[in-house]
Amino acid sequence: MRLVTCSGAFLALATLAPAVNALPSFGWGQNQPREDAVTAYGGNDISKLAKYLPSSNLPKPDGLELKFVGLGIGTQNYTCNGDKSAAPGTTGALATLYDMGSGLANDPMAAWKLASVTGLALSLYNYHESLMWYLNSQGYQDVLGHHFFTPGTPSSVPTFLISKIQQNPPVAYVAKKDNVTAPAWAFKGLSGEGAIPWLRLVDNGKSSGGVNTVYRVETAGGNATPNCENRPAHWEVPYAAQYWVYGPKS
- Give the footprint of ligand NAG on this chain (CB under 6 A): 19, 22, 75, 77, 91-92, 94, 149, 179-181, 197, 236
Q: Cβ of residue 179: shortest distance to ligand NAG, in angstroms?
A: 4
Q: Cβ of residue 64: shortest distance to ligand NAG, in angstroms?
A: 22
Distance CA 170, CA 164 (A): 9
Distance CA 60, CA 56 (A): 9
Distance CA 186, CA 220 (A): 6
Pick 31 or 159: Cβ nearer ligand NAG: 159
Pick 94 or 201: Cβ nearer ligand NAG: 94
Secondary structure tally for the chain: helices H, strands E? 5, 8
> What does the DSSP assignment read for 68-135?
EEEEEEEEEEEE--S-TTSPPEEEEEEEEEEEHHHHHHT-TTHHHHTTTHHHHHHHTTT-HHHHHHHH
Pick 96 or 102: Cβ nearer ligand NAG: 96
Coil, strand, or helix at residue 199? strand
Q: Cβ of residue 36: shortest distance to ligand NAG, in angstroms?
A: 31
Q: Cβ of residue 201: shortest distance to ligand NAG, in angstroms?
A: 12
Distance CA 113, CA 107 (A): 9
Q: Cβ of residue 231: shortest distance to ligand NAG, in angstroms?
A: 14
Pick 45 or 178: Cβ nearer ligand NAG: 178
Dihedral sign for Cα 9, 78, 202, 40, please. positive
Q: Cβ of residue 223: shortest distance to ligand NAG, in angstroms?
A: 10
Distance CA 64, CA 202 (A): 12
Angle ∠(152,235,76) on CA atoms, nearest 5: 60
Pick 168 or 179: Cβ nearer ligand NAG: 179
Pick 37 or 190: Cβ nearer ligand NAG: 190
